[in-house]
Amino acid sequence: MADLFSGLEAFGLSNLSEMKVYEKEDGSEKVKAAPAPKPEERKLTEADFVFDKSYTCPVCSREFKSKTVKTGKVKLVSMDTDLRPRYQFVDSLKYDAVVCPHCGYAALSRFFGYMTETQAKLVMSNISKSFRGINTTGDIYSYDDAISRHKLALVNTVVKKSKLSEKAYTCLKTAWLLRGKAESLPADTPNLPNTIALLAAEENEFLQNAYEGFMEAFMKELFPMCGMDENTCTYLVADLARRIGKDEEALRWLSRVITARDANERIKSKAREIRDMIMAEKEKNNVG
């Protein structure tokens, strides 16, 4: 089983590497390829779309800067079936985890400012006291930088006892980054097939945790959830189930979307596409 928190030792948090994301309570398919950039746009680089945004940490109250993507400057060109967005020139997903370089508090941007006094104390006692800092140099974040920052955000969700949906969403975003890293590897990467296989296995581990978290959140939390309405989240859970090999579960969740009276035609169409994909694969396997 892949170690979800591998790499945390770089932050001085090796003691947290064995954490479980969810405590037990009692009782890449692409929709379409990205279009080639126009000749006049070829000189643009990822750094052209990134800037340093100022934050005040809700845990230690100190100010810092974290890189983020300029709003409205990147073009969405396609979306994977599990809703992973693909943008032209820059993978904006790399910049979604905000990390305080002083105390080690980290969270996805949509959750960063939400902090209770009890949660702040948990972060200070379990993370800040061991935190060694984080690299803040460079014009952009590499995929390795981004994955480490998201893993730090994930361990924070465990420490501060976040909602199931926040944990699941952080797992999902980390899985997307692992997929992005695998897709961006140069052809001359040493032992490329093995490296891609290892990244795929780690991605699958995060997808499984995302699936489990959203499944439980459905029973315990209200919508909207992580910015998603119920039908969108239902569709997402269905595709996560498909990706981790739970086809029958996926079909049940897809049926809920397809028959939902309040679901729009766009999400229903996407659900039908995934259903047809599963059935075609089943037929192929039966023939084989």
Q: Is-contact 205 2, C-beta < 8 A?
A: yes
Would you state the pLDDT for residue 7? 79
* pLDDT tens string 29-66: 545 566 665 555 457 899 999 999 999 999 999 999 99
pLDDT of 11 above 90: no
Rounded distance between C-alpha atoms, residue 136 and residue 219, angstroms: 39
* pLDDT tens string 123-154: 999 999 999 999 888 999 999 999 999 999 99
pTM for the whole thing?
Answer: 0.86
Q: Where are the alpha helices (DSSP H) in the chain?
A: 117-123, 143-159, 164-184, 192-220, 230-243, 247-259, 265-287
**Mean pLDDT, range 215-228, rounded to an integer:** 96
Among residues 204, 213, 159, the alpha carbon closest in space to that of 15 is found at: 159
Q: Is-contact 47 53, C-beta < 8 A?
A: no
Would you state the pLDDT for residue 40? 54
Would you state the pLDDT for residue 75? 92
Name every residue whose Cβ is closer than 8 Å to that of residue 212 and which is 6 or more positions away in sequence: 22, 168
* pLDDT tens string 82-95: 999 999 999 999 99
Name every residue whose Cβ is closer than 8 Å to that of residue 207 and which is 6 or more positions away in sequence: 82, 171, 172, 175, 240, 243, 244
Q: Which DSSP letter does residue 34 get?
A: P
Average pLDDT for the chain: 92
Would you state the pLDDT for residue 90? 95
Q: Is-contact 122 161, C-beta < 8 A?
A: yes
* pLDDT tens string 153-203: 999 999 999 999 999 999 999 999 999 999 999 999 999 999 999 999 999
